[in-house]
Amino acid sequence: MLVVVAPDSYKGSVSAIEVANAMERGVNRVFAEAQVRKIPIADGGEGTVEALVASTGGALRSVEVSGPLGDPVRACWGVLGDGRTAVIEMAAASGLPLVARERLDPRHASSYGTGELIRAALDAGLRRIIIGIGGSATNDGGTGMARALGVRFLDAAGRELTPGGAALANLATLDLQDLDRRLADSELIVACDVDNPLCGPRGASAVFGPQKGATPEMVAELDAALARFATVAQHSTGRDVAAQPGAGAAGGLGAGLLFFTPAHLRPGVGLVLETVGFADIVRTADFVITGEGRTDFQTAFGKAPVGVARVAKTFGAPVFCLSGGLGQGADDVLAQGIDAVMSICDRPLTLDECMRDGSVLISNAAERLCRIIRAARARR
């Protein structure tokens, strides 16, 4: 018997790798002879590096980079098992968790550290780079990232602008002379699960700015500054990207990558599953267990468990989702290839108790599920 466990993380509680290990323990308590194939996954956001490195037998690396407000941070990135692909997360260098709530400053926060991660991958001789761009603290259109790769952003007097999105209101010209030439020979694949344009009511500033500390006045200021950036960058690069779906992702980093690198944007879950070769793994599975921290109506729109189910269903494998909690619309996933969804909680628990005991709850839930499966199979 082949059982594939392919969970996302239970954010704030259990990493995807730890979830997979817990599920394996539960499966083995019922099906002792089963071969359990563990494929921790992610959707391009937090945990993508760890999941892809673990699933492909790669290696983690780290480098000191500049955080969103210029403070040095130690950021992890990875080399996949093929030895030629790097994977980085914007959140590791320019992420919201790196800035205390009282210090959030979307007008001045910079994505420079993300550019430093890209540069570290290039310095390691890697020319295929997967970039997860969820969870940013920045709203600078990816200009910080571009600075780290050699682009200069100048005002009308030829002076270099200060970091951050607000300064882009004074942008007059770009100097692309020192843009890292290695990018021309590289492939950058961006895991992006939003379709927001750079500017406007659905743009980076209006939709994502408030969670980064932007007031309504700041949102208007930053949106206008990004519009100025888009005009100047289009003139300098010949690329019209501001209205492209995903350009507004991660404070406009999507646009910056499209303007200054040979990047293309892909839905995160599909990219991760393709990278780990999930279709080949699940082809002969007897059943699949996936899971996430909370399942609700949003899951049906392509979050990790549904991505897993869509691939598994092409081979007729039953798919079960073990969730930390079930919210409104959780049953919507049943129309997306998941055969059953259930909570890991076996009794009334507080949120703190659920998060503290996550691994035990997951393994016990996997065991209960497998006992049901065993009983059903015995009736055949």
pLDDT per residue as tens digits for the range 231-247 = 999 999 999 999 999 99
Average pLDDT over residues 14-25: 94
pLDDT mean over 329-355 = 90
**Per-residue model confidence (pLDDT) at position 380:** 66
Instruction: Provide, for the chain, the percentages of residues in helix, strand and coil under a 3-state DSSP scheme, each rounded to the nearest 5.
Output: 45, 20, 35
Least confident of 19-23, 71-75, 210-214, 294-298: 294-298
| Percentage of residues of the chain with pLDDT beyond 90 | 82
Averaged pLDDT of the chain = 94
C-alpha span between 48 and 87 (Å, rounded): 8
Q: Could you tell me the domains of the chain?
A: 2-41+277-378 (3.40.50.10350), 48-268 (3.90.1510.10)
- For residues 191 and 167, the answer to whether their CB atoms sit within 8 Å is no
pLDDT digits (tens, 9 = 90+) for 148-203: 999 999 999 999 999 999 999 999 999 999 999 999 999 999 998 788 999 999 99
Q: How confident is the model at residue 87, as a pLDDT?
A: 97
| pLDDT computed for residue 118 by the predictor | 98
Q: How much of the chain exceeds pLDDT 70, in percent?
A: 99
In the predicted model, what is the mean pLDDT of residues 285-298?
A: 93
* Gap between the Cα atoms of 231 and 124, Å rounded: 34
Residue 359 has pLDDT above 90, yes or no: yes
Q: How confident is the model at residue 135 (pLDDT cuts 50, 70, 90)?
A: confident
Across 317-322, average pLDDT? 97
Q: What is the pLDDT of residue 283?
A: 95
With b for 16 or more beta-carbon neighbours within 10 A and e for fewer, the 47-67 pattern comes to bbbbbbbbbbebeebebebbb
Which pTM does this prediction carry?
0.86
State mean pLDDT over 107-113.
Answer: 97
